[in-house]
Each structure stands twice: as structure tokens, then as C-alpha cells.
Amino acid sequence: MGDVALLSLEIKVVFGVALSGSGFTFIKNWAEFAADPHAVAVLRLLEAGLKAADPEAAVRRCVRLVDSRLHVCDAEFDLREYEEVVVVGAGKASGAMAKALEGVLGDAISCGFVIVPKDVAARLKLKRIKLWGADHPLPSERGVEGAARIAELLESGHERRLVIALFSGGGSALMPLPAEGITLEEKRRTTELLLRCGASIDEVNAVRKHISRLKGGQLAKLAYPATVAALMLSDVVGDRLDVIASGPTAPDTSTYADALRVLKKYGIHDFVPESVLRRLERGARGELPETPKPGDRIFERVHNFVIASNRTSLRAMADEARSMGLNPLILTSMLEGEARHVGRVVAAVCKEVRLSGEPVRRPAAILAGGETTVTVVGRGRGGRNQELALSAAIAIKGLEGVRIASMGSDGIDGVTDAAGALVSGETCARAESMGLDPEEFLAENNSYEFFKEVGGHIYTGYTGTNVNDFVVCLVA
């Protein structure tokens, strides 16, 4: 990058953002990076991604009321055709979504019931929509009670009712309504067994949907023949409708027989609660109705909309990068795999751009998202984003003009108070000058303590949204 271009970038970043502090709503400790204009540029991109994922902003962006016509994304609903508008939902961000929706529709909403975390219900009161506080991440009887209220409300549906459903991350745990004859504890024990034996998310859902009353399209079935417009804030890699909040308004392709096969595959057939096994066996024999499948007539009246996702944020970050004079490249919104391995791959891309200008010209903003994992082998403290950043720091040691950040869009990385971390080619040298060995911290899964000592943590607090993780790289 030439001196003139670098100076131009520094003027845009430092004088436009850092010195005034404008533009930073979410990132609390931006000033710690103010002496490094490239780091501030990365934080500015992260901020743009967080703003795009804000649930209230997402609803206002996608939902408009013009006279009697309700516009939701590319669909239109004439409210004169409905006798009532009912709002339901569940999720960590669904309270903010409900607030924004009430701001758009006002008294056009007949009633509403949305399940949110207890702290959200305590501080947010709405006029037309009841916010019901329940427990997360562990389902509780409070959540069961709220889910039963939603089921009761939907069962009284008719053709001239419009149901607007609001779902976001955490919706599955906040709206846990076990099938008849199964207790919450029995359902929870079954899920724990599946997770402990290494079942995939699809395998877990195949079982979970068949021992639940609302998951796997069954909420839509209860609402039928009402029209359903479901607004979703996606925390799922790939934005699969059948996985977001366990797919309450999406067709389910799995069967009772599939669920039984999962139990047998992992050898837990004899360990799940008897009530669960009995229900799955009855369903496989055709004695119980299946979850609604693709092509079921109920879905003719169901409209699903993903109003914000990781890709939404990546696009917003790309727009912000262009406004800063950077050349953006969106790598993927579907990052998965071991965090430390992904960190090395991201670092390798940065090295290639720095060396050859491929696959994007400098100054470049390389953007990615998704959700990695950490296999814990040490006794340290950290999170997947901090581990990715530490791994990347080791890989770019001594490389000039590169900054790499990884953060959770919910503001929480592992069991720590940090959202993630930002590193440069100087990070490891700084650690070594303090007598610290970055490789040792990585081996112990101790990324939090590393950044606490060396610096580089990103702090936001809980952001109120969740669209997975962001990885932002700047190559000058």
C-alpha cells in the first residue's frame, strides 16, 4: 500500500471515527486501539456488522405498514383481509424484535405473547405484546408454561387471523413444550444423552422434534388455517429454516423411524426415558401423527423470512469497507471447524493477499463468518474467537500491515467477559518481550489470559443479537 493511500486511510479512520469516538455503539473499548488506525478500521467494520444484526433495526428494515398493507421483505399482507393480528415468538433477541414490530403496527396488533429471557422481560414492557420471562440456556418449567400459553393461543386460530411469529437464537430452549406423556426432565435427559454421544445437530433435532409439541413445523400446524408470517434472526450457519429455533414454522423431513435409528446408532436405545422410547416406537408404527412434511397444505399459508443473518452483517461490513477505501472480499458466512485450524487458514489468506494481491487487491478487508469449535485439551480459559485470534497471531508473527479480529456477535465468547480479540504481526513479539510463550497459551486453551496480559481483547457486553461469529482481516 502506498504512502498516499495509507495516509488517506488513516485520515478516514482516525479523524472520522477514532478521535471523535463517533460510530462506536457496541464496542466499548475502542479507545484502547486508537493509536493503531488499522485496528480501528477493523473495529469499525465489526461495528457495522453488529448494527446490521441489531434485531430492532432488522425488523424496521424489513417490515413496513403502508395504509392497510403490511410489507414484510418481498411479501405483502392486506390487513383488511384479517380480523385479528396475533404475535407469538421466542428467543434471546425476540423481545427487541417485538418492540420494533409494535412500533410499526401499533394498535393493529390484537394481542401477542413472546417468550424471552427473564432479564429482558423485567426491563422491557410493551403495550400490545406480553413478554414472558423464562430461563436460558437450560429449559425450565417457566418456559414450558409460556410455550403452553402460545399453543393455547394458536389452537383457537381461523382463516381470518394473521399470526406474526418472531424467532431468534435461544428460541428452542425458551419454548420447550414436551409432547404429551413426556416431562421436561425426560426430554432434557434425552437431549443430553444425544449430545454426550456425539450426535449431529440433524440427529439431535430428529429426536427432539418428535418428542415436542411445537418444534419441527408443529407450531405452524397448530396455527392452521391462519396465515403465518415468521420473522427470524438466524444464529444457524447456512440459515436453515428447519434448524433456527428447531424449525417451529418449517417442514420437517425427519420421521419417527429416523429418530429411533439415531438412538440405535449411538447405543442409547436402552438408556433414554421409557416415555420417550415408547412415543418414538408408537410413532414409527403409525399410531401417532407425523410432524408436518414438505408439501403439507399447512405450509401454503406459511411465509418464512430470515430478516438478519451472518451474511446480512458481512454485506454491511463490505459496504462499510468500500466507504473507507478498502477492497472487500467476503470469504464465507459458513466457517466451521476447529478454531485454531481456521485461524491458521485465515492467516494464510492474509499472507497471500499481502504477498501477491490475490484473491483481492490491497488495501483489503477480508470478511468471514460462521461458528467454529474448540476441542478443550488444556486447563486454560478462553473462547472459540479468542482461540482463533491467538492461532492467527502466531501464524502472522512479524508480518506488517495485517490485522485480524474474531468476535462473537452476541458479545460473549466462551465463559469470559470478552467478545473476542484483535491481533497483528506484532502481537506475539509483544508477548515474548513480556516473557510469555503464545504457543504454550494456545496449547492450554488459555487464550483469555493471553490477551488479558498482552492486550487485544474486544469488549462489547451482551449485544442483544446473535448471528454467529465475525472474522475481519485488514491487509494494508
Q: Model confidence at 213, in pLDDT bands (50, 70, 90)?
A: very high
Instruction: Check whether residue 17 and residue 84 sit in a common domain.
Output: no
Instruction: Check whether residue 221 and residue 244 sit in a common domain.
Output: yes
Count of domains for the chain:
3
pLDDT score of 329 more than 80: yes
Instruction: Check whether residue 141 and residue 194 sit in a common domain.
Output: no
- Give the residue-averaged pLDDT of 246-256: 97
| Per-residue pLDDT reduced to its tens digit, 386-424 | 999 999 999 999 999 999 999 999 999 999 999 999 999
Instruction: Check whether residue 100 and residue 231 sit in a common domain.
Output: yes
Instruction: Check whether residue 21 and residue 97 sit in a common domain.
Output: no
pLDDT score of 5 more than 90: no
pLDDT at residue 22, as a whole number:
59
Q: What is the CATH number of the domain that holds 341?
A: 3.40.1480.10
pLDDT at residue 198, as a whole number:
85
| Per-residue pLDDT reduced to its tens digit, 261-276 | 999 999 999 999 999 9
Q: What is the CATH number of the domain that holds 295?
A: 3.40.50.10180
Instruction: Check whether residue 18 and residue 123 sit in a common domain.
Output: no
pLDDT at residue 3, as a whole number:
42
pLDDT at residue 7, as a whole number:
40
pLDDT at residue 15, as a whole number:
35
pTM of the model: 0.89
Instruction: Check whether residue 104 and residue 203 sit in a common domain.
Output: no
| Per-residue pLDDT reduced to its tens digit, 263-317 | 999 999 999 999 999 999 999 999 999 999 999 999 999 999 999 999 999 999 9
Instruction: Check whether residue 420 and residue 379 sit in a common domain.
Output: yes
Instruction: Check whether residue 326 and residue 410 sit in a common domain.
Output: yes
pLDDT score of 49 more than 80: yes
HEC profile for the chain? CCHHHHHHHHHHHHHHHHCCCCCCCCCCCHHHHCCCHHHHHHHHHHHHHHHHCCHHHHHHHHEEEECCEEEECCEEEEHHHCCEEEEEEECCCHHHHHHHHHHHHHHHCCEEEEEEEHHHHHHCCCCCEEEEEECCCCCCHHHHHHHHHHHHHHHCCCCCEEEEEEECCCHHHHCCCECCCCCHHHHHHHHHHHHHCCCCHHHHHHHHHCCECCCCCHHHHHHCCCEEEEEEECCCCCCCCCCHHHCCCCCCCCCHHHHHHHHHHCCCCCCCCHHHHHHHHHHHCCCCCCCCCCCCHHHHHEEEEEEECHHHHHHHHHHHHHHCCCEEEEEEEEECCEHHHHHHHHHHHHHHHHHHCCCCCCCEEEEEEECCECCCCCCCCCCHHHHHHHHHHHHCCCCCCEEEEEEECCCCCCCCCCCEEEEECCHHHHHHHCCCCHHHHHHCCCHHHHHHHHCCEECCCCCCCCCCEEEEEEEC
Q: Model confidence at 199, in pLDDT bands (50, 70, 90)?
A: confident
| Per-residue pLDDT reduced to its tens digit, 103-120 | 999 999 999 999 999 999
pLDDT score of 16 more than 70: no
pLDDT score of 17 more than 50: no
The parent domain of residue 130 ranges over: 55-177+212-254+291-308
More confident residue, 11 or 178: 178
State the chain's mean pLDDT as an integer: 94
Instruction: Check whether residue 303 and residue 373 sit in a common domain.
Output: no
| Per-residue pLDDT reduced to its tens digit, 63-99 | 999 999 999 999 999 999 999 999 999 999 999 999 9
Instruction: Check whether residue 246 and residue 115 sit in a common domain.
Output: yes
Instruction: Check whether residue 98 and residue 234 sit in a common domain.
Output: yes
